[in-house]
């Protein structure tokens, strides 16, 4: 791709000779109102921390007034469907053998895709949809690529087609065949487990699509998104935990079971225990030689300066100024937008009025309109004498002043 700049900053991602990113873009400007909530970030162009900070600005600790219209609708749709459908899960209605079994399974697959769309709109600016493919069903996930566990229930991978086309595939088990065929009571998993896994995999997908792939970022992976065959580094853990907290808030507000989302994996305010275990296990499995490819693993709480960090009690701490700065930026954008809007209305609605009162050059009293007072090179406009005031687009004082009069 050609490297192009606008005002010295690239607006298309810079790629090196290996096709890797070579410029760390700032996260796109965002505000929860038109047109700023529809952002178009570049693929693989942001450091993981930039991505984390930019992403949580849109939802962390926000009341409804601070959410964009897409988010409010997504949360409401998700909660409605959740209440309608959650009791049907883990009760065997959906994957029962015999007539209706296939139809019921399709309904489960449909639920997962529906929830994915809402989570995408709420947490990821609707940016995942065009890049991900979700496969659901009984035992659709293969063996653990890191070899750490006998069975895994979900997996996210990049698929590169021969055509060069690339997408992210998410596989999620909605139940397991051996239990279903045994006629046991719980052929599908609990809906909370499915939603918990889905949002977990969507975070992997988000980093795979948008986090920078430059050699420097790759060397730092242990302290950011984790090893390539793992993906559960501290930046993942932080975004994951903040999303869990937000979804639990929906449960609290609506009195549904979402309040208990991932309660065993993320007890109280803790980061995901299972994901952290996997991240450490994957690092411990590295050979000495492989380990040299990465910078030293730092304790999660190594930097107090970071805006978002994991504390030594395994919670996620977010510095208040990340929100304060965002609110300030949003207010400035809001002011600018309303001023632009007022000016546009002015032009449309009052244009005729301006034309009627247009400054009449022939009849103007120049002696009063321009006061020279001996300073021949300084031309001041007497605004009172100019119809429509200084802002009137029909009057160009500099042009008026340059005429050779008197």
Query: By the criterion CB under 5 A, which residues form the site for Zn ion?
Result: 212, 214, 217
Smallest distance, Zn ion to C-beta of residue 201, A: 7
Smallest distance, Zn ion to C-beta of residue 382, A: 58
Smallest distance, Zn ion to C-beta of residue 157, A: 11
Comparison of 214 and 307: residue with beta carbon closer to Zn ion: 214
Comparison of 67 and 217: residue with beta carbon closer to Zn ion: 217
Query: Cα dist. 269→182, 238, 242, 265, 272 in Å?
Result: 37, 11, 9, 10, 9
The answer to whether residues 45 and 21 touch, using CB atoms and an 8 Å cutoff, is yes
Q: What is the DSSP string of 204-218?
A: HHHHHHHB--SHHHH
Long-range contacts of 308-314 (CB under 8 A, 24+ apart): 308/49, 308/52, 308/53, 308/56, 308/238, 308/242, 309/238, 310/234, 310/237, 310/238, 310/271, 314/270, 314/271, 314/276
Smallest distance, Zn ion to C-beta of residue 76, A: 28
Comparison of 218 and 346: residue with beta carbon closer to Zn ion: 218
Comparison of 25 and 94: residue with beta carbon closer to Zn ion: 25
- Paired sense of beta strands 316-318 and 308-310, if any: antiparallel
Comparison of 25 and 105: residue with beta carbon closer to Zn ion: 25
CA separation for the pair 307, 52 (Å, rounded): 10
Smallest distance, Zn ion to C-beta of residue 252, A: 26
Query: Cα dist. 162→166, 213, 298 in Å?
Result: 9, 21, 39
Smallest distance, Zn ion to C-beta of residue 200, A: 5
Comparison of 33 and 277: residue with beta carbon closer to Zn ion: 277
């Amino acid at each position: 791709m050609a490297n192009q700049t606008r005002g010295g900053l690239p607006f298309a991602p810079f790629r090196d000779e290996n096709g890797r990113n070579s410029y760390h873009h700032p996260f796109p400007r965002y505000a929860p109102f038109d047109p700023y909530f529809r952002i178009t970030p570049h693929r693989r162009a942001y450091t993981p921390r930039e991505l984390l900070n930019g992403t949580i600005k849109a939802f962390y600790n926000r009341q409804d007034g601070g959410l964009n219209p897409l988010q409010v609708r997504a949360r409401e749709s998700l909660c409605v469907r959740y209440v309608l459908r959650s009791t049907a899960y883990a009760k065997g209605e959906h994957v029962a053998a015999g007539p209706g079994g296939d139809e019921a399974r399709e309904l489960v697959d449909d639920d997962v895709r529906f929830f994915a769309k809402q989570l995408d709109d709420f947490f990821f600016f609707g940016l995942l949809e065009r890049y991900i493919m979700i496969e659901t069903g009984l035992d659709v996930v293969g063996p653990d690529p890191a070899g750490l566990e006998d069975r895994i229930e979900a997996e996210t991978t990049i698929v590169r087609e021969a055509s060069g086309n690339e997408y992210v595939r998410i596989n999620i088990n909605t139940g397991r065949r051996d239990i279903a065929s045994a006629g046991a009571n719980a052929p599908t998993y609990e809906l909370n487990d499915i939603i918990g896994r889905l949002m977990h995999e969507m975070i992997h997908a988000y980093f795979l699509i948008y986090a920078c792939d430059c050699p420097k970022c790759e060397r730092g992976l242990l302290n950011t998104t984790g090893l390539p065959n793992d993906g559960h580094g501290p930046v993942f853990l932080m975004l994951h935990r903040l999303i869990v907290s937000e979804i639990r808030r929906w449960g609290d507000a609506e009195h549904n079971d979402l309040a208990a989302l991932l309660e065993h994996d993320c007890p109280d305010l803790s980061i995901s225990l299972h994901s952290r275990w996997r991240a450490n296990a994957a690092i411990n499995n590295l050979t000495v030689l492989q380990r040299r490819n990465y910078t030293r693993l730092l304790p999660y709480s190594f930097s107090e300066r970071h805006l978002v960090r994991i504390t030594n009690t395994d919670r996620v701490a977010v510095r208040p100024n990340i929100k304060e700065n965002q609110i300030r930026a949003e207010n400035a954008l809001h002011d600018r937008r309303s001023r632009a809007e007022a000016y546009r209305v002015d032009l449309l609605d009052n244009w005729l009025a301006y034309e009627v009162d247009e400054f009449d050059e022939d009849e103007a009293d120049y002696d009063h309109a321009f006061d020279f007072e001996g300073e021949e090179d300084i031309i001041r406009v007497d605004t009172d004498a100019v119809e429509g005031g200084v802002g009137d687009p029909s009057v160009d004082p500099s042009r008026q002043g340059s005429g050779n009069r008197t």
